[in-house]
Amino acid sequence: MRIKLAALLLAALLLAGCGPRHYRDSADREVTAAIAGKTPLVPNLGTNLSIATNLPVELASLPKNELPEEAFGTNAQAEVGAVIISLEKALEIAVKQSRTYQTRKETLYLQALALTLARHRYQPIFSGSAEAQHLTTHEIQTGVDGIVEERSVRVDGRAGMNVLLRTGARLVTSFSTDFLRFLTGDPRLTTSSALAANLAQPLLKGAGYRVATENLTQAERDLLYALRDFSRFRKDFATDIAAAYYGVLQNRDAARNNWRGFQNFRLNVEREKAFAEEGRRSLTSLGQLKQAELNTETRWITSTRNYFQSLDAFKILLGLPLNTRITLDDRELANLRIIHPTLQLEEAVTVAHATRLDLQNRRDSVEDAARKVMVAGNNLKPRLDLVAGVQAPQQGGAKLAPDFERYSWHAGLDAELPFDRKAERNSYRAALIAEARAAREYALAKDQIRLEIVEGWRNLDQAKRNYEISELGVQLSQQRVEEETLKQELGRGLARDLVDAQTDLINSKNARTSALINHNLARLRFWRDMGILMIKDDGNWETLADAQSN
pLDDT, tens only, 217-228: 999 999 999 999
User: Among 237, 89, 104, which Cα is nearest to 538's?
Assistant: 89
227 lies in some domain: yes
User: Which residues are CB-neighbours of 45 under 8 A, at least 6 positions away?
Assistant: 39, 227, 230, 231
Rounded percentage of the chain residues whose pLDDT exceeds 90: 57
pLDDT value of residue 283 = 74
Domain co-membership, 231 together with 193: no
Q: Which helix (H) or strand (E) holds 410?
A: strand 408-416
Phi, psi of 116 (to 5 degrees): -60, -35
> Using one digit for the tens of pLDDT, what is the confidence trace for 285-306?
778 778 888 988 999 999 999 9
Q: In this structure, are residues 182 and 150 in contact, taking their beta carbons and an 8 Å threshold? A: yes
Does residue 10 carry a pLDDT above 60?
A: no
pLDDT tier at 5 (50, 70, 90 boundaries)?
very low
Phi, psi of 391 (to 5 degrees): -140, 135
443 lies in some domain: yes
DSSP reduced 3-state for 393? strand
Does residue 29 carry a pLDDT above 70?
A: yes
Say how far apart CA 172 and CA 186 lie, in whole Å: 39
Q: In this structure, are residues 57 and 93 in contact, taking their beta carbons and an 8 Å threshold? A: yes
> Using one digit for the tens of pLDDT, what is the confidence trace for 318-359?
999 999 999 999 999 999 999 988 889 999 999 999 999 999
Helix spans in 50-190 (H)? 87-97, 99-120
Q: Which residues of 516-533 are buried (b: 16+ CB within 10 A; e: fewer)?
A: bbbbbbbbbbbbbbbbbb
Domain co-membership, 257 together with 156: no
* Cα-Cα-Cα-Cα dihedral sign, residues 284, 289, 292, 298: negative
pLDDT value of residue 270 = 77
DSSP reduced 3-state for 91? helix
DSSP reduced 3-state for 24? helix
Count CB neighbours of 145 within 10 A: 7
Average pLDDT rounded to a whole number, residues 467-477: 91
Say how far apart CA 77 and CA 309 lie, in whole Å: 17
DSSP reduced 3-state for 530? helix
DSSP reduced 3-state for 337? coil
Average pLDDT rounded to a whole number, residues 21-36: 93
Does residue 426 carry a pLDDT above 90?
A: yes
pLDDT value of residue 230 = 96
Mean pLDDT of the chain: 86
Say how far apart CA 188 and CA 124 lie, in whole Å: 38
76 lies in some domain: yes
> Using one digit for the tens of pLDDT, what is the confidence trace for 262-290?
888 787 777 777 766 666 666 777 787 78
Q: Which helix (H) or strand (E) holds 7?
A: helix 6-16
144 lies in some domain: yes
pLDDT value of residue 181 = 57
pLDDT tier at 3 (50, 70, 90 boundaries)?
very low
User: Which residues are CB-neighbours of 345 under 8 A, at least 6 positions away?
Assistant: 453, 454, 457
Phi, psi of 460 (to 5 degrees): -65, -45
536 lies in some domain: yes
Last residue of a domain, one of 417, 439, 471: 417
Average pLDDT rounded to a whole number, residues 101-129: 93
pLDDT value of residue 48 = 83
Domain co-membership, 375 together with 398: no
544 lies in some domain: yes
Does residue 4 carry a pLDDT above 70?
A: no
* Residue 421 region by backbone torsions, left for phi larger than 0, else alpha for psi between -120 and 50, else beta: alpha
Domain co-membership, 180 together with 316: no
Does residue 6 carry a pLDDT above 60?
A: no
Say how far apart CA 94 and CA 89 lie, in whole Å: 9
53 lies in some domain: no
How many independent structural domains does the chain possess?
Answer: 2
Domain co-membership, 389 together with 475: no
Domain co-membership, 256 together with 201: no
Q: What is the span of the domain harbouring residue 253?
A: 2-48+58-122+206-382+418-549
User: Among 212, 173, 103, 200, which Cα is nearest to 392's?
Assistant: 173
User: Among 45, 57, 56, 24, which Cα is nearest to 104's?
Assistant: 45
Domain co-membership, 225 together with 151: no
Last residue of a domain, one of 401, 417, 433: 417
Last residue of a domain, one of 417, 442, 470: 417
**What percent of the chain is helix, strand and coil (3-state, nearest 5)?**
60, 20, 20
User: Which residues are CB-neighbours of 378 under 8 A, at least 6 positions away?
Assistant: 205, 206, 207, 208, 211
Domain co-membership, 82 together with 177: no
pLDDT tier at 375 (50, 70, 90 boundaries)?
very high
Say how far apart CA 432 and CA 459 lie, in whole Å: 40
Beta pairing, strands 326-328 & 83-85? parallel
Domain co-membership, 80 together with 114: yes
Does residue 152 carry a pLDDT above 60?
A: yes
Domain co-membership, 338 together with 440: yes
> Using one digit for the tens of pLDDT, what is the confidence trace for 58-72?
898 999 999 998 989
Does residue 15 carry a pLDDT above 70?
A: no
Domain co-membership, 320 together with 448: yes
Q: In this structure, are residues 362 and 117 in contact, taking their beta carbons and an 8 Å threshold? A: no
pTM (2 d.p.): 0.86
In terms of pLDDT, which residue wins out, 276 or 81? Answer: 81
Does residue 9 carry a pLDDT above 50?
A: no
Count CB neighbours of 354 within 10 A: 11
In terms of pLDDT, which residue wins out, 203 or 392? Answer: 203
Q: Is 214 exposed, middle or buried (0-12, 13-18, 19+ CB in 10 A)?
A: middle
DSSP reduced 3-state for 153? strand
> Using one digit for the tens of pLDDT, what is the confidence trace for 82-108?
999 999 999 999 999 999 999 999 999
Domain co-membership, 147 together with 266: no
User: Which residues are CB-neighbours of 398 under 8 A, at least 6 positions away?
Assistant: 189, 191
Average pLDDT rounded to a whole number, residues 483-503: 74
Say how far apart CA 29 and CA 24 lie, in whole Å: 9
> Using one digit for the tens of pLDDT, what is the confidence trace for 174-199?
887 775 555 555 565 566 778 889 99
Helix spans in 279-421 (H)? 283-318, 330-334, 345-355, 357-378
Q: In this structure, are residues 422 and 380 in contact, taking their beta carbons and an 8 Å threshold? A: no
Q: Which of 53-67, 137-151, 405-419 has the lowest mean pLDDT?
A: 137-151
Does residue 151 carry a pLDDT above 90?
A: no
478 lies in some domain: yes
Say how far apart CA 336 and CA 520 lie, in whole Å: 7
pLDDT value of residue 483 = 83
What CATH code is carried by the domain that includes residue 341?
Answer: 1.20.1600.10
User: Among 302, 338, 257, 286, which Cα is nearest to 505's?
Assistant: 257
